[in-house]
Each structure stands twice: as structure tokens, then as C-alpha cells.
Chain A
Amino acid sequence: MVRKEINQLLAILEVELKNILRERGTVGFSIFFPILISLSTYSVGTGILGKPPSLELWFYQLIGFTILMITIVMSASSAWYIRQGLLSRRLEYIFSAPVNPIIIIASISLTSGILGFGIFLTVGLIGVIVTYGLSNLSNFFISLLILIIALIPILGINLIIAAATIIGKEPEAISQPVSAIVSTTSGLAYPITILPFILKIIGESMPYYYAAYYVRSIIEGYFNILSLGNLPFLFLYLIFGFVIYRYFENNYIRKEGAYGI
């Protein structure tokens, strides 16, 4: 029974990974983007200060922009999956097939997670070697494990985005405000201490801030095990996301169908 479901998950995963590999340009851009933007702001900083700023500061932004890229890829892929599925009637066939929707959603999320992990591995490795040399490489590989755990609650937010796309219909219009709020409040490109109080609270209540914090603190060697205490609460996002998505799926897609959308 379980074996059948694992086979289904692997089959969908294979198809989705092939889809990603077909779009090499997008993958290349996702890797290039954090490096390009962080170097741009570094050059702005050099211009303002009149001398090159510390490489640790560049690394701070590089890690932040990489996690931002992962966030955008993950949230946009959930939204587009629902929209394209509705437009092409693909969801009709998927829901009528003897495949549990959870397996479909899990495999789609897993695919974007693998892509995100690949982006982080490539960009992070370049950043660590340039900034710290080979000395912090072991820390970097440990941070990869923490990143995987920290990305799991983010999947819950992706499910909420997928649910919102069922009603809002426009994937970009749904995922764009999420990306804007996450980018601004999560301390990805700058410390959240400089934000107004209300934005700081929004940032601290979402998993993105913790993903960036855990990764940076492990690589730079100031990680405190007590900070992991927030992690179990972040998993509530996964539960909420799952419940909200199932509600919208059952009450809108399955009842009303893809027609007329």
C-alpha cells in the first residue's frame, strides 16, 4: 500500500524534475540572481563608503537573497501549478485518477524544495569559499541540513498561496505580495532591527526569518541550540496550510470543476 504511494510520488517527482531541467535558463537565472544583486549592492556600498565594505556583510546579503530566490521559486511554483492545472484541465484528470492529492502536492513541493536546495548549495558554496575560505565549509554543510528542516514550514505557506490562487486566479498577482512582504520583513537583505515595530513582528512570526537566521548563525559559528525552540511552532504553518488548501480544493475545485474558471 505504502509502496504504491511512494511509486506515485516518485513518478510525479520525475516528471516535475524533467520540466525544471527543460527550463535551464530559469534555473541559471535563479542561481545568478542572488550573486548579481548582492554584488550590485556591494558596489553601491563601496561607492557610498569610499572603500570596499567587509566581505562578511556581502555574505550576509548573499545568503538573504538566496533564501529570497528560493521563496519566490517555491511560492510562484505553487500558484502556477494550480492556475495552469485549472486552465489546461490537468487538475480534472489528476483528481479523477486514483492518486491521493496529498501525494501530488507533496511531490510538487518536494520538486521546488529540491530546486531551492540546489540553488542554495551552489550560491552558498561560492559565498562561503570567497568569504571564509575552506575553514567554514563543514559549518556550511551542517547548515544545509537545518535549511531542509526550516524549509518544511514554508511549504505550508505555499499551500495557502495555492489555495488563494483558486479564488484569485492570477498566480503572479497572488505570489507577488507574498514575496514583497517576506522580502521586506524577514531580515533577508538587512537586519530586522532597523524595521518599524509592526513589520518586525510580521517578520518574526514567519518561517523565512528563522531559515535565514539559522543558516547564517551556523555558517558563521554563533549558532545557539536554544534558538531552535521556535521551530516546532513554525510547523503550525504546515498544518494550517494543509487544512486551508484542502478546504478550498474540496469546496471550489472539486465541486465547481475547472470549467468556467
Chain B
Amino acid sequence: MEYKFKNFIITKISAELGKGLKIYTRNKVWIISDLISTPFWVIFLFLTLIFYAQYLLNNINVVTSLMWGIFLFIFMNSFMWAGNSIVQSVESGIIDNIILTNTSLTIHLLGRNITGMIDILISGVIALLTSSYIFGATLSISEPILFLFLL
């Protein structure tokens, strides 16, 4: 009985993950859009924030701090959009059907969150690489395991 229950939950989670991936890959234009936009937004944010003290662009510590600030901004932003997805599900009438299938809303949110995870991965990595290439920020992480754990 317990085995069947576990199997049932795993099937639902994998279905939601599959759905999340499908939504993300269906609109390829969004992926292309993110790939083009992110480096430009990173440069824009960097130079706009440092407009009043442009000499700080030569300071690696300041530039590296800004880089991680922008990375965390992308990180938080993706999670906020993931939280907003429940509102979208209500507005588009999906939530009624989910409740009818007796599926937990947490599992439903998991499918949506996978888009957020991919976003963080792609946009975050692009932001780090752009900052390093254009502004010379340092990419080294002294405690990588702790960093991943806290993330």
C-alpha cells in the first residue's frame, strides 16, 4: 500500500516536471530572448549603478561585489516569478482542474518552479560570465560547497 502511494506521488511529480520543461521549451523565442537580453541588462545595471563614481570600474573588489549583487537579484527575481505562477494558474482556470485530480498544489508548483530553476541557471551563468569578461570581476568562489548549499 505504502509502495503504491510512493509510486503515485513520484508519477505526479515527474508529470509536473515534464509539464514545466514542456512549457519552457515550447516557447523557444523566450530562450533566445533571455540569451540576448541578459548580457545587455547586466552591462546596463553595472554602468547605471556606477554612473556617479565611474572610477570604481577599475576596482576589482567593487566590480565583483556588484556581480554577486546582480546574480542574487536574478535569483530572487526568478523565485518571485515562480510564486506569481500560482496566481496565473488561478486566473487561467488551471487550478480548478488540478484540485479535481486530487493533486497537491505544492507538486503543481514544482512544475512551474523548474522554469525558474532553468532561468536562474542560464541567466545567472550569463550574468557571471558577462561581468567577468567585460568588467574583469573575479569568478573564484572560496567555499564552493557552502555556496551551493546556501543557494
Asked if B27 and A184 sit within 8 Å, CB to CB, the answer is: no
Set of chain B residues within 8 Å of A183, measured between Cβ atoms? 40-41, 44
Binary contact track B6-45/A, C-beta < 8 Å → 1, others 0? 0000000000000000000001011011001110110110
Asked if A173 and B49 sit within 8 Å, CB to CB, the answer is: no
Please give the distance in Å from B115's CB to the nearest CB on chain A: 14
A217 CB within 8 Å of chain B? no
Please give the distance in Å from B85's CB to the nearest CB on chain A: 16
Asked if A48 and B29 sit within 8 Å, CB to CB, the answer is: no
Set of chain A residues within 8 Å of B37, measured between Cβ atoms? 176-177, 179-180
B84 CB within 8 Å of chain A? no
A26 CB within 8 Å of chain B? no
Binary contact track A51-67/B, C-beta < 8 Å → 1, others 0? 00100010001000000
How many of A's residues come within 8 Å of B, CB to CB? Answer: 30
Set of chain A residues within 8 Å of B47, measured between Cβ atoms? 184, 189-190, 194-195
Please give the distance in Å from A260's CB to the nearest CB on chain B: 16
A184-B40, A194-B47 given as contacts; is B52 within 8 A of A173 (CB)?
no
Complex Cα gap A204–B13 (Å): 51
A220 CB within 8 Å of chain B? no
Asked if B29 and A170 sit within 8 Å, CB to CB, the answer is: yes
Complex Cα gap A42–B56 (Å): 16
Asked if B51 and A45 sit within 8 Å, CB to CB, the answer is: yes
B54 CB within 8 Å of chain A? yes
Asked if B33 and A190 sit within 8 Å, CB to CB, the answer is: no
A114 CB within 8 Å of chain B? no
Complex Cα gap A195–B40 (Å): 11
How many pairs of A and B residues are in contact by the CB < 8 Å rule? Answer: 74
Complex Cα gap A48–B51 (Å): 11
Q: For chain A residues 156-187, which have a beta carbon within 8 Å of chain B?
A: 168-170, 172-174, 176-177, 179-181, 183-185
Asked if A194 and B33 sit within 8 Å, CB to CB, the answer is: no
Which of A173, A179, A190 makes the CB contact (< 8 A) with B51? A190
Set of chain A residues within 8 Å of B134, measured between Cβ atoms? 196
Q: In which size bucket is the chain B interface?
A: 20 to 34
Set of chain B residues within 8 Å of A190, measured between Cβ atoms? 47-48, 51, 54
Residue of B nearest to A42 (CB): B52
Asked if A48 and B53 sit within 8 Å, CB to CB, the answer is: yes
User: Interface residues, chain A, CB within 8 Å of chain B?
Assistant: 41-42, 44-46, 48-49, 53, 57, 61, 168-170, 172-174, 176-177, 179-181, 183-185, 189-190, 194-196, 199
Could you write out 23 A-B pairs with CB less than 8 Å apart? A48-B56, A49-B53, A61-B48, A169-B29, A170-B27, A170-B30, A173-B27, A176-B33, A177-B37, A180-B36, A180-B37, A180-B38, A180-B44, A181-B36, A181-B40, A183-B40, A183-B41, A183-B44, A189-B51, A190-B48, A190-B54, A194-B57, A199-B43
User: Interface residues, chain B, CB within 8 Å of chain A?
Assistant: 27, 29-30, 32-33, 36-38, 40-41, 43-44, 47-49, 51-54, 56-57, 134
Given contacts A173-B29, A185-B40, 9 further A-B contacts (CB under 8 A): A44-B49, A44-B52, A45-B51, A45-B53, A57-B52, A169-B29, A174-B33, A177-B36, A190-B48
